[in-house]
Amino acid sequence: MNSWKDLQDILLKFRNERNWEQFHNPKDLALALSIEVAELNELFLWKKPEEADVEKVKDELADVFAYAILLAEKYDLDINEIVKTKVAKNAEKYPVDKAKGTSKKYTEL
Amino acid sequence: MNSWKDLQDILLKFRNERNWEQFHNPKDLALALSIEVAELNELFLWKKPEEADVEKVKDELADVFAYAILLAEKYDLDINEIVKTKVAKNAEKYPVDKAKGTSKKYTEL
Amino acid sequence: MNSWKDLQDILLKFRNERNWEQFHNPKDLALALSIEVAELNELFLWKKPEEADVEKVKDELADVFAYAILLAEKYDLDINEIVKTKVAKNAEKYPVDKAKGTSKKYTEL
Amino acid sequence: MNSWKDLQDILLKFRNERNWEQFHNPKDLALALSIEVAELNELFLWKKPEEADVEKVKDELADVFAYAILLAEKYDLDINEIVKTKVAKNAEKYPVDKAKGTSKKYTEL
C-alpha cells in the first residue's frame, strides 16, 4: 500500500497518544515543517548534490512528510487532489513550448 | 486512489515534458522545497493560526508535497516506509510517559 | 563601536584561519543563513512569542548576522547602503496612508 | 558611518509611522526573517553560485538585515556584542587545528 491515508492514521495515533493536538495549530505545524526542511537542507550544505548522506536524507524527508501530512489533516485536505489541481495550474503557468529546457520562473518566460 | 505513486508519475511526466530533469539535482530540489515551505509560512505571517487563507494553503502545501515527492524519487525512496520507520524512531525518542502533554524537545525530556 | 566592518573583519579572520573560504560560495552561504534562521525559529516553535529562551535567541541571531555579513562581503556590499535603499523602496510600496495599522501585503493594499 | 544603530533608528521610524509595532512580536519577526531568507535563496535556485542577480541579492539581503535588526531591538541586544560572543564560542567548537580545511560539523570533528 502506498496510501497517505495510512500514514495520516499512524501520525494522528502517535500525536494523540502524547496529547500533542493542543500544540498542533496550523501556524506552528507550518513552522515545524520549515524547521524540518532546514534540517534536510543542512545535509547538502557545503557539499555537492550527490554527497548527502542518504540515511539522513530518509530521516529528515520523513519528518517533512510527517508535518505536511498533519497540516493537510488540519484542513481536511485530500493530498492527491490538491497536488493534481496544482500541477494543472502549473501546466498553465509553464506551458511546454515556453518552459522546455529553461529554469526561468514563469514571471520571466 | 490515494497512492504516492500516482502523484509521482504525474510529477515526473510534468517534469520530463519540460526537460527539467537537468535542473533537478537533490540539492536544488531540497532548496526548492524550502522556498515553497516559506511561501506556505507566509500565509500565517502576522496572523493568528486560524486566519490563513485556506485556498492559498492548498496551493502552497501542494507545492511542498510536489518537491518532497520528487526528492523521494531521486533516492528511490518508499515514502510510506521512511515515514513509518521515522515514527518508530520518534516513539523511542518521545516515550508516551515522558512526552505526554509537553512540547519539550527530546533532548530536554 | 557599532560598525559592521568590525564584525566583518572578525568573521573573515575566523574563516581564513580555518581555510573555509573554499566552501563559502554565495549559494552555500545563503543556504547556511537559512539553516541558522530555522534554528532561530525553532526557539519559538509550539510557544507563545514571549516564551523563547533569550540566551538561545542571542546565539542563533548572532549566527544569522554572521552569515548575512559574510554574504554581503562576497558581493562587496555596503550594508547600511543596501538597507537604506530598500527602506526607501518599501516606503513607496507601503505608503503611510494605505499601510498604517494593517499587516496586508503591498499587493493587497 | 557603518553603525547598525543608524539602521535600527531608520527601521523603527519606518515601522512606527505605519503602526506596525502591534504585529512585530518576536515570533512573527523571526518568521518574517525566514521568509526573506527564502526569497534570497530563491535567487540561487537551479543556478550555479555565481549566477545570482546581484541587484536582487541586494534587495533580499537588505530585507534579511532589516528583520534581524528589528528582532535584535525587541530583546534590546547589542549586535556587535552577540556576534563577538558567538564567534568566541565557535572558536572553541571549531579549533583551528581540527577544523582547518574541512567543512565537517563540530559534532563530527
Band (B3; pLDDT cuts 50, 70, 90): confident
Given a cut of 80, whether residue C2 has pLDDT beyond it is no
Evaluate whether residue D108 is within a structural domain.
no
Q: Which pLDDT score is estimated for C1? A: 58
Evaluate whether residue D62 is within a structural domain.
yes
Given a cut of 90, whether residue A2 has pLDDT beyond it is no
| Contact status of A37 with chain C (Cβ, < 8 Å) | yes
For residues A55 and B2, the model is more confident at: A55
ipTM score assigned to the predicted complex: 0.96
- Which residues of chain B lie closer than 8 angstroms to A62, CB-CB? 82-83, 85-87
Cβ distance of C26 and D50 shorter than 8 Å: yes
Helix ranges, B1-109 (H): 4-17, 26-42, 54-74, 79-93, 96-99
Distance from CA of D45 to the nearest CA of A (A): 9
C–D interface: beta-carbon pairs under 8 A: 198
| Contact status of B34 with chain C (Cβ, < 8 Å) | yes
Evaluate whether residue B61 is within a structural domain.
yes
- Which residues of chain C lie closer than 8 angstroms to D63, CB-CB? 86
Q: List, for residues D59-76, the tens digit of each pLDDT value.
A: 999 999 999 999 999 999
Opening angle at CA C55, ends C52 and C56, nearest 5: 65
Give yes or no for a contact between C78 and D58, defined as CB atoms under 8 angstroms apart: no
| Contact status of C25 with chain A (Cβ, < 8 Å) | no
Given a cut of 80, whether residue D2 has pLDDT beyond it is no
Mutation target vs C (from D61, D85, D102; most C CBs, 10 A cutoff): D61
CATH code at position A73: 1.10.287.1080
| Contact status of B30 with chain C (Cβ, < 8 Å) | no
Band (D6; pLDDT cuts 50, 70, 90): very high
Evaluate whether residue B70 is within a structural domain.
yes
Evaluate whether residue A14 is within a structural domain.
no
Evaluate whether residue B56 is within a structural domain.
yes
Evaluate whether residue C33 is within a structural domain.
yes
For residue C54 the three cell numbers come to: 533569550
Mean pLDDT for the stretch of residues A76-89: 97
Domain encompassing residue A60: 24-99
Cβ distance of B103 and C46 shorter than 8 Å: yes
Opening angle at CA B17, ends B12 and B19, nearest 5: 90
Q: Which pLDDT score is estimated for A7? A: 95
Amino acid at C53: D
Q: How many domains does chain C have?
A: 1
Evaluate whether residue A53 is within a structural domain.
yes
